[in-house]
Amino acid sequence: MEIEDFKDLLLPFGLLIVFIIGSIIIKRQNSVKKSLQFRLVFYGVVMIILWFSLPMTPSLSTFGYPEDIADIESKEKLLKYLQRYNVAIVKTTEVVHWMIFITVFWLLSIVSTLIKHVKLEDSAK
């Protein structure tokens, strides 16, 4: 296993650990208010993890555009230039996919909690 393969596994394992810890803590809460507060805190933690997972050059313009043909005169220079762009695009796309998935999952869990709370209140009346 190469170092790059290990780095690719850090993000999913980090998110999984936060989800497991968060779900254990949230399930122990008796109050809906506390449960929602903890969900928001863990959502913030996950978003911070994803933010730090972005490549150090999230803006592709920071690589600099080739000024003239001399900057990419050889095939090796062109390949290296395109590989840097590709790595940044792939990593940014991966993080955006995770952010969208987690945001939708988080919103659904909030709605589910609120619906259960409303049903419990209605059944208590």
Q: What is the dihedral of CA 59, 15, 47, 61, to 10 degrees?
A: 0
pLDDT tens digits in sequence order for the chain, 125 residues long: 456 556 667 777 777 888 888 888 877 877 888 888 888 888 888 888 888 877 776 455 555 666 677 767 778 877 887 887 788 788 888 888 888 988 998 898 888 888 888 887 778 76
**pLDDT at residue number 104:** 92
Q: What are the two backbone dihedrals, phi and then psi, of residue 68, each rounded to the nearest 5 degrees? A: -150, 180
Token digits of residue 79: 């390949």
**pLDDT at residue number 7:** 65
**pLDDT at residue number 65:** 65
